[in-house]
Amino acid sequence: MRLLLLRHGQTSANTTAALDTAAPGHELTELGLRQARAAGRALGTLGIGAVAVSTATRTSQTAMPLVRSLGLEPVRHDGLREIAAGDFEMRNDHEAIEGYLGTIGGWLEGDLLRRMPGGETGHEFLARYDAAVARVCARGSDVTLVVSHGAAIRTWVTHRAGGDHAPIHEGLHNTGCITLDGSPDEGWTVASWHREPIGGAWLDDLSAPDPTGATSTPTRQPRTPLSPPGRSPGWATASAPSR
């Protein structure tokens, strides 16, 4: 089967570097809503037969344009929520960002016993995300979309999928998408890691600090600008608006 892991659209927390990981969380910004509509158009022809979202409002909002166009009902799974920030929740100071990304960086390097201060260990995170993905896949669709969160998606894929397209420190911008082939029983292979918004690179906000979509290296600097907007292989992209 094919599993598409889509990060939600932009929220105001992404623009201020606030660690907003608890449900229901912030809603999408105007840009986030545009990203969601463009993602729906890009994904609409891929044969998606099932959609799952986390319990955060932003994932349901991101999935809405697609599920409406396909006539599907998204299923909510609490296990697909973001890696909990624990003691760092809603903070955006350097100590909090460094602590959050530093813990996740340790998990990515294999230190799964490390606990997020006030939160879960790497083993606990993987166990609840594994269980959610298994329930999603049990619906039997050949192509399934999961709308989830940046840090959660990247960490789970790093530990559960192989292949040449699985860079452990690669970022995942709002409505970026990772495509996996396989199954919970047989394992997963990364078919593609599309870090830019799948609806078009022009929808990216390169000035946002956005810690949960960044690499695991703690930083408060804006992300490195990407190459000029263009059509990425394998994805239908919307045209940039006229100015």
CATH number, position 7: 3.40.50.1240
pLDDT of the residue at 215: 58
Measured from the Cβ of residue 170, the count of other Cβ atoms closer than 10 Å reads 16
State how many domains the chain has: 1
- Is position 82 within any domain? yes
- Is position 9 within any domain? yes
List Cβ neighbours of 198 (8 Å cut-off, separation of 6 or more): 6, 38, 39, 42, 43, 175, 176, 177, 232, 235, 237
pLDDT of the residue at 170: 79
Token couple for 148? 């989830």
Give the structural domain span for 15: 2-213
- Is position 220 within any domain? no
pLDDT of the residue at 167: 58
| H helices, E strands: number in the chain | 6, 7
Scanning the chain, the segments in alpha helix (DSSP H) are 12-16, 30-43, 57-70, 94-108, 122-137, 150-160
What are 94-126's pLDDT values in tens digits?
Answer: 999 999 999 999 998 899 999 999 999 999 999
Is the distance from CB of 179 to CB of 192 less than 8 angstroms?
Answer: yes
pLDDT of the residue at 213: 83
pLDDT of the residue at 164: 63
Collect the ranges in the chain with pLDDT lower than 50: 217-243
